């Protein structure tokens, strides 16, 4: 389904839709599925396959021109969707004026169909694999290939300027085709992608002469021994943003320095960990206009000792008067932390999630960060560090606490104490991701009451099925309070010991929830049933290792066409259960797969992944995927 | 099922593993697991390999690592691992070029990332999108037209898997995935 785009913001590097109010109602240009209740009053012969044709003569050309000019100003996906449903002429006008195309699931619509309908697109966003693929729950080569998209767009959109991809498989050949096909190409944003190497980057940077943005976030780039930084054009560039912190290859620093020197518009620069602090210094003095900086290793280069070359790092940072977003610190040398003091009071975003630092080491930094809105950190700072955050960061909107030690049975340095402190101090919090080993309902309830603006609540108690460690109770009441009290909540991830009761709360109160992640939770089919029957806005549901079976699966039949996808792995489903769905809902693609490629054929499977699609079964399935197709 | 002297080497048993499905608290065993104890492998290093094949625990009562749990991307896990290494030692990788007959692009990989042949071969399969056949000492790689080979310190081209893993790590200079008759020829040389 092609959804209306909000402006694809390449600055929002996670491409999260949690802040986007796009409608669950997606646009289709085929027959409406019967499950959808749509008020069609006032619609005359809209493009929905009805046979009642509009008997009014062809609309006034003037009116259409006016319409097109007005529709240009409509940018939100929801608004465009509504506009296109008014009548055929609005549908046409909207299609002609849509310049930003958002494809939430690359298999829901084909490139041919999308490009046939929207002919004047300048910016495209495509999302591929489901999120659980990030955690190795799906073998490689599942799909989400960029190739068919880029080859369609090469013909249909010669004026394409922006491409944003998330969890897509991109090859060097795809990048080469992109570079050749789009003369005015300006922005490439790749989030959680893989499949290409530095050769592909080299082609893009050398041929895309108008390139403004090259952002690689958590994307795997293979090392082809190609010096891609050298491949930028020799003249001044238009570069505004260059983010390659996830590229694990050595780069040619001299070439990078010259590149920065000839990129006067550069505002965002994120370096990889092969850039030392000395090299960082050299870049910073050339680019004091930076607003976003990823510092690289923040350590000395190999073989150098401290004192060999004492540069004035403090001045370099002080000169960056516009710096608002700081990250990196991949191999942080603690002695150099004070260098960042001059910028702390201006920072709105700070990412220390690769820096293993203690509370004491954090305090001098965080105590100056009064304007901080986004903070990513490791749990090495302990509850005490979180208290320090709560004391100073009154403007905090987003917090992510990652574990240093991502193991179930480890000691947990953060707990309910830290969570409660944050809830007391950071009342404007909208989004939290918190990894811990122990938690209490009381703390979660406190957060639900103190942080009424919460939109995203993701709590990961790393020990599976762990109860409230003080009362021994399940975590039902805590999560229940979150859905009850946080009226704006759209994204929820649950953990710990949870009974069906927790899900009854979610179904009853989670009326705005669009994304739900469940792992090792629930008692019976009832749990899933509550959610599918209660959460009317649910779009993305990912479940692993929970005792939900065929009956529960069937209870969602009325809703699956409204969803982007359902993922269920290691649950209690059977093949028959999945077949029942496939038969009932022909517009759903029902994939069953094994988690390991080498496994033999057999009746059992590990994962169900199903999604609505206009295209039917895809033709690029790997050997470990089977699509259940009724009536073949 | 008897064993070669070195547990990281290829043997039929290793490639025939039937894995527990994710979600089960199984202790995944590799043959000759006990031999591993002699090596200075920090059990925390296992986090980096999220494949269930490599989930091992030193003491039986501990649970095996669950695939994909906790939900941290391997990129992040590996980055933190790199940090730990950087603190203590000079952790330089062992970078070798990998070419494949017929493929236009070379790759470079860090051998240190892999702990045994199956891991390395799996990574190559994914990287170059092909399948490696079944290894046997006598016949090399059967079942596919590709064979992974490497150039050693003496400049000789050897079949990957013929020597113990540690010896391979220290002598491998370059990797080449051969195709066709050349590959088959090499297989019989052992």
Please check whether residue A398 lies inside any domain of the structure: no
In this prediction, residue B84 carries a pLDDT of: 61
Lowest mean pLDDT among A52-56, A147-151, A239-243, A411-415: A52-56
Residue for token digits 């930076």?
A290
Cα–Cα distance, A115 to A156 (Å, whole number): 6
Residue A72: pLDDT band with limits 50, 70, 90: confident
Count of domains observed in chain B? 1
* Residue of chain A with shortest Cα separation from B62: A409
In this prediction, residue B86 carries a pLDDT of: 54
* Residue of chain A with shortest Cα separation from B128: A195
Residue A169 corresponds to which tokens in the numbers above?
Answer: 């498989």
Query: Hey, of A133, A200, A223, A592, which one would you mutate to test binding to chain B, going by the most B CBs within 10 A of its CB?
Result: A223
* Residue of chain B with shortest Cα separation from A247: B75
Please check whether residue B140 lies inside any domain of the structure: yes
Half-sphere exposure of A136 (CA within 13 A, CB side): 23
Please check whether residue B149 lies inside any domain of the structure: yes
Identify the CA nearest to B116 among candidates B49, B20, B188. B49
Please check whether residue B65 lies inside any domain of the structure: no
Residue A514 corresponds to which tokens in the numbers above?
Answer: 């669009």
The pTM (predicted TM-score) of the whole model is 0.80
Whether residues B67 and A136 touch (CB distance < 8 A) is answered with yes
Helix (H, G, I), strand (E, B) or coil at A108: coil
Give yes or no for B23 touching A (CB within 8 A): yes
Task: Note the pLDDT tens digit of each residue in B100-132.
Answer: 888 877 888 888 888 889 889 988 888 888 888
pLDDT at residue A541 greater than cutoff 60: yes
Q: Are A130 and A567 in contact (CB under 8 A)?
A: yes
Q: Are A530 and A503 in contact (CB under 8 A)?
A: yes
Give the distance from residue B106's alpha carbon to the nearest chain A alpha carbon, in angstroms. 5
E strand or H helix at A259: helix A253-261
Residue A12: pLDDT band with limits 50, 70, 90: very low
Q: Which residues of B touch A462 (CB under 8 A)?
A: 69-70
- The dihedral region occupied by A73, where left means phi > 0, alpha psi between -120 and 50, and beta the remainder, is alpha
Q: Are B142 and B136 in contact (CB under 8 A)?
A: yes
In this prediction, residue B9 carries a pLDDT of: 53
State mean pLDDT over B174-178: 91
Please check whether residue A80 lies inside any domain of the structure: yes
Inter-CA distances, B32 with A200, A226, A241, B20, Å: 42, 40, 51, 19
Helix (H, G, I), strand (E, B) or coil at B108: strand
Please check whether residue A306 lies inside any domain of the structure: no
Q: Which residues lie below 8 Å from residue A22, measured CB to CB, with a gap of 6+?
A: A3, A4, A6, A76, A77, A78, A102
Cα–Cα distance, A103 to A155 (Å, whole number): 18
Q: ∠ CA A270-A253-A168 to the nearest 5 degrees?
A: 45
Cα–Cα distance, A371 to A396 (Å, whole number): 8
Burial class (CB in 10 A: 0-12, 13-18, 19+), B23: buried
Kindly report the CATH number assigned to the domain that includes residue B121: 3.10.20.90
Cα–Cα distance, A336 to A319 (Å, whole number): 17
pLDDT at residue A7 greater than cutoff 60: no
Please check whether residue A289 lies inside any domain of the structure: no
Whether residues B63 and A135 touch (CB distance < 8 A) is answered with no
Residue B19 corresponds to which tokens in the numbers above?
Answer: 């894995």
Residues in chain B: 190
**Cross-chain CB nearest to B106 (options A225, A302, A462):** A225
Task: Note the pLDDT tens digit of each residue in A151-192.
Answer: 999 999 999 999 999 999 999 999 999 999 999 999 999 999
pLDDT at residue A512 greater than cutoff 90: yes
Residue B133: pLDDT band with limits 50, 70, 90: confident
Residue A285 corresponds to which tokens in the numbers above?
Answer: 């003095």
Give the distance from residue B187's alpha carbon to the nearest chain A alpha carbon, in angstroms. 23
Q: Which residues of A touch B134 (CB under 8 A)?
A: none
In this prediction, residue B125 carries a pLDDT of: 87
Highest mean pLDDT among A7-11, A163-167, B94-98: A163-167
Residue for token digits 């009746």?
A603
Q: Which residues of B touch A403 (CB under 8 A)?
A: 70, 72
Which residue range(s) make up the domain with B122?
A: 95-184
**ipTM (interface pTM):** 0.84
* Residue of chain B with shortest Cα separation from A599: B18
- The dihedral region occupied by A549, where left means phi > 0, alpha psi between -120 and 50, and beta the remainder, is beta
Q: What average pLDDT does the structure give for chain A? A: 90
Q: Which residues lie below 8 Å from residue A568, measured CB to CB, with a gap of 6+?
A: A543, A544, A548, A553, A607, A608
State mean pLDDT over A335-355: 97
State mean pLDDT over A456-472: 96
Task: Note the pLDDT tens digit of each residue in A393-436.
Answer: 999 999 999 999 988 888 889 999 999 999 999 999 999 999 99
Give yes or no for B93 touching A (CB within 8 A): no
**Cross-chain CB nearest to B68 (options A135, A218, A356):** A135
Q: Which residues of B touch A404 (CB under 8 A)?
A: 80
Burial class (CB in 10 A: 0-12, 13-18, 19+), A227: middle
Residue B143: pLDDT band with limits 50, 70, 90: confident
**Cross-chain CB nearest to A570 (options B21, B47, B77):** B21
State mean pLDDT over A597-604: 64
Count of domains observed in chain A? 1
**Cross-chain CB nearest to A569 (options B22, B47, B77):** B22
Strand partners, A166: A127, A191
Which residue range(s) make up the domain with A82?
A: 63-93
pLDDT at residue A40 greater than cutoff 60: no
Please check whether residue B14 lies inside any domain of the structure: no
Cα Rg of chain A (Å, integer): 25
Q: Are B71 and A461 in contact (CB under 8 A)?
A: no
Q: Are A270 and A244 in contact (CB under 8 A)?
A: yes
Give the percent of chain B with pLDDT over 90: 11
Q: What average pLDDT does the structure give for chain B? A: 68
Task: Note the pLDDT tens digit of each residue in A82-133.
Answer: 999 999 988 998 999 999 999 999 999 999 999 999 999 999 999 999 999 9
In this prediction, residue A52 carries a pLDDT of: 44
Give yes or no for B112 touching A (CB within 8 A): no
pLDDT at residue A1 greater than cutoff 70: no
In this prediction, residue A53 carries a pLDDT of: 47
Q: Which residues of B touch A595 (CB under 8 A)?
A: 21-22, 67
Residue for token digits 């694999």?
A129
In this prediction, residue A17 carries a pLDDT of: 62
Please check whether residue B34 lies inside any domain of the structure: no
Q: Are A19 and A455 in contact (CB under 8 A)?
A: yes
**Cross-chain CB nearest to A199 (options B44, B83, B105):** B105
The count of other CB atoms within 10 Å of the CB of residue B12 is 12
Whether residues A519 and B95 touch (CB distance < 8 A) is answered with no
Lowest mean pLDDT among A56-60, A199-203, B101-105: A56-60
The number of C-beta contacts closer than 8 angstroms across A and B is 117
Give yes or no for B142 touching A (CB within 8 A): no
pLDDT at residue A354 greater than cutoff 80: yes
Q: Which residues of B touch A223 (CB under 8 A)?
A: 95, 107-109
Task: Note the pLDDT tens digit of each residue in A289-328.
Answer: 999 999 999 998 876 666 656 789 999 999 999 999 999 9
Task: Note the pLDDT tens digit of each residue in A570-593.
Answer: 999 999 999 999 999 999 999 999
Phi, psi of A165, rounded to the nearest 5 degrees: -125, 140
Half-sphere exposure of A571 (CA within 13 A, CB side): 34
Please check whether residue B113 lies inside any domain of the structure: yes
**Cross-chain CB nearest to B75 (options A141, A224, A246):** A246
Q: Are B136 and B9 in contact (CB under 8 A)?
A: no
Give yes or no for B63 touching A (CB within 8 A): yes
Half-sphere exposure of A161 (CA within 13 A, CB side): 11
Residue A30 corresponds to which tokens in the numbers above?
Answer: 């085929």
Residue A285: pLDDT band with limits 50, 70, 90: very high
Helix (H, G, I), strand (E, B) or coil at A566: strand
Half-sphere exposure of A470 (CA within 13 A, CB side): 8
Cα Rg of chain B (Å, integer): 17
Alpha helix ranges (H) inside chain B: 12-15, 74-88, 117-128, 165-171, 181-187
Please check whether residue A78 lies inside any domain of the structure: yes
Cα–Cα distance, A371 to A31 (Å, whole number): 50
Cα–Cα distance, A298 to A450 (Å, whole number): 36
Residue B85: pLDDT band with limits 50, 70, 90: low
Q: Which residues of A touch B104 (CB under 8 A)?
A: 172
Please check whether residue A257 lies inside any domain of the structure: no
Residue B43: pLDDT band with limits 50, 70, 90: very low
pLDDT at residue A537 greater than cutoff 50: yes
Q: Which residues lie below 8 Å from residue A606, measured CB to CB, with a gap of 6+?
A: A569, A570, A593, A594, A595, B21, B22
E strand or H helix at A515: strand A515-519
Cα–Cα distance, A238 to A235 (Å, whole number): 10
Task: Note the pLDDT tens digit of each residue in A246-281.
Answer: 999 999 999 999 999 999 999 999 999 999 999 999
Cα–Cα distance, A259 to A241 (Å, whole number): 12
Q: Which residues of B touch A405 (CB under 8 A)?
A: 44
**Cross-chain CB nearest to B22 (options A378, A405, A606):** A606
In this prediction, residue A597 carries a pLDDT of: 62
How far apart are the two ends of chain A, measured CA to CA in Å? 24
Please check whether residue A77 lies inside any domain of the structure: yes
Give yes or no for B1 touching A (CB within 8 A): no
Give the distance from residue B167's alpha carbon to the nearest chain A alpha carbon, in angstroms. 24
Task: Note the pLDDT tens digit of each residue in B44-66.
Answer: 433 333 333 333 333 434 455 78
pLDDT at residue A195 greater than cutoff 70: yes
Please check whether residue B117 lies inside any domain of the structure: yes
Whether residues B77 and A406 touch (CB distance < 8 A) is answered with yes
Please check whether residue B109 lies inside any domain of the structure: yes
* Residue of chain B with shortest Cα separation from A408: B70
Kindly report the CATH number assigned to the domain that includes residue A86: 1.20.1280.50
pLDDT at residue A511 greater than cutoff 70: yes
User: DSSP letter string over B34-79?
Assistant: GGGGGS---GGGGGG--SGGG---SSTTSPPPPTT-S---HHHHHH
pLDDT at residue A522 greater than cutoff 70: yes
User: DSSP letter string over A81-92?
Assistant: HHHHTSBHHHHH
Residue for token digits 């190609």?
A226
Q: Are A437 and A462 in contact (CB under 8 A)?
A: yes
Task: Note the pLDDT tens digit of each residue in A369-399.
Answer: 999 999 999 999 999 999 999 999 999 999 9
Give the percent of chain A with pLDDT over 90: 79
């Amino acid at each position: 389904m092609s959804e209306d785009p909000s402006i694809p913001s390449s600055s929002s590097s996670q491409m999260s839709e949690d802040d986007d109010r796009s409608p669950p109602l997606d646009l289709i240009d085929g027959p409406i599925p019967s499950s959808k209740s749509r008020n069609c009053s006032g619609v005359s012969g809209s493009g929905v396959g009805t046979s009642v044709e509009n008997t009014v003569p062809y609309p006034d050309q003037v009116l259409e021109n006016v319409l097109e000019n007005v529709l240009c100003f409509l940018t939100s996906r929801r608004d465009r969707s509504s506009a296109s449903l008014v009548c055929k002429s609005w549908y046409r006008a909207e299609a002609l004026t849509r310049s930003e195309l958002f494809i939430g699931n690359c298999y829901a619509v084909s490139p041919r169909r999308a490009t046939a309908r929207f002919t004047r697109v300048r910016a495209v966003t495509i999302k591929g694999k489901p999120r659980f693929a990030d955690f190795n729950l799906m073998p490689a080569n599942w799909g989400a290939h960029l190739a068919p998209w880029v080859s369609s767009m090469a013909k249909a959109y010669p004026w394409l300027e922006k491409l944003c991809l998330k969890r897509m498989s991109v090859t060097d050949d795809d990048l080469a085709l992109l570079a050749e096909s789009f003369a005015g190409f300006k922005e490439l944003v790749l989030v959680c992608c893989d499949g290409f190497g530095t050769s592909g980057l080299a082609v893009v940077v050398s041929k895309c002469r108008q390139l403004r943005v090259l952002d690689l976030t958590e994307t795997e780039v293979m090392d082809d021994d190609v010096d891609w930084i050298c491949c930028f054009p020799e003249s001044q560039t238009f570069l505004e943003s260059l983010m390659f912190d996830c590229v694990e290859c050595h780069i040619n620093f001299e070439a990078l320095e010259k590149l920065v020197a000839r990129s006067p518009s550069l505002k965002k620069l994120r370096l990889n960990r092969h850039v030392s602090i000395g090299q960082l210094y050299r870049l910073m003095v050339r680019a004091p206009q930076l607003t976003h900086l990823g510092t690289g290793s923040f350590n000395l280069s190999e073989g150098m000792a401290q004192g060999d070359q004492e540069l004035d790092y403090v001045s370099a940072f002080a000169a960056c008067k516009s710096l608002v977003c700081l990250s990196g610190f991949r191999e942080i040398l603690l002695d150099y932390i004070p260098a960042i003091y001059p910028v702390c009071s201006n920072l709105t975003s700070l990412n220390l999630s690769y820096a293993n630092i203690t509370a004491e080491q954090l305090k001098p930094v965080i105590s100056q960060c009064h304007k901080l809105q986004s903070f990513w950190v490791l749990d090495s700072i302990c509850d005490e560090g979180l208290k320090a955050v709560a004391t100073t960061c009154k403007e905090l909107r987003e917090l992510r606490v990652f574990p240093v030690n991502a193991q179930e049975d480890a000691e947990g340095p953060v707990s309910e104490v830290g969570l409660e402190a944050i809830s007391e101090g950071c009342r404007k919090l909208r989004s939290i991701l918190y990894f811990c080993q122990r938690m209490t309902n009381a703390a979660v309830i406190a957060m639900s009451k103190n942080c009424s603006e919460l939109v995203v609540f993701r709590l990961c108690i790393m020990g599976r099925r762990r109860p409230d460690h003080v009362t021994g109770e399940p975590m039902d009441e805590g999560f229940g309070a979150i859905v009850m009290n946080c009226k704006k909540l759209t994204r929820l991830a649950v953990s710990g010991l949870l009974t069906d009761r927790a899900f009854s709360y979610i179904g009853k109160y989670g009326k705005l929830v669009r994304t739900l992640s469940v792992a090792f939770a629930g008692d019976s089919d009832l749990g899933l049933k509550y959610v599918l029957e209660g959460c009317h806005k649910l779009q993305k549901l990912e479940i692993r290792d929970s005792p939900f079976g065929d009956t529960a699966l069937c209870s969602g039949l009325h809703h699956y066409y409204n969803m982007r996808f359902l993922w269920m792995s290691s649950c209690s489903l059977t093949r028959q259960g999945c077949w029942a769905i496939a038969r009932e809902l022909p517009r759903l693609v029902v994939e069953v797969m094994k988690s390991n490629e080498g496994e033999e054929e057999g009746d059992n499977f590990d994962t169900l992944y199903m999604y609505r699609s206009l295209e039917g079964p895809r033709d690029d399935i790997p050997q470990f995927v089977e699509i259940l197709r009724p009536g073949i | 099922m008897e064993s070669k002297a070195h547990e990281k080497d290829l043997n039929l048993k290793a490639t025939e593993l039937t894995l527990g499905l994710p979600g089960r608290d199984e202790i995944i065993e590799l043959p000759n697991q006990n031999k591993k104890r002699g090596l200075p492998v920090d059990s925390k290093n296992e986090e980096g390999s999220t494949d269930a094949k490599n989930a091992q625990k030193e003491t039986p009562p501990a649970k095996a690592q669950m695939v994909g749990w906790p939900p941290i991307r391997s990129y992040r896990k590996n980055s933190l691992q790199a940090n730990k290494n950087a603190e203590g030692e000079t952790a330089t990788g062992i970078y070798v070029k990998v070419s494949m007959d017929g493929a236009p692009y070379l790759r470079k990989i860090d051998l240190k990332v892999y702990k045994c042949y199956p891991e390395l071969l799996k990574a190559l399969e994914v990287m170059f999108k092909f399948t490696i056949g079944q290894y046997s000492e006598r016949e090399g790689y059967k079942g596919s037209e590709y064979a992974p080979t490497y150039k050693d310190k003496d400049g000789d081209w050897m079949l990957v898997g013929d020597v113990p893993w540690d010896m391979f790590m220290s002598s491998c200079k370059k990797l080449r995935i051969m195709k066709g008759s050349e590959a088959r020829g090499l297989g019989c040389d052992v």
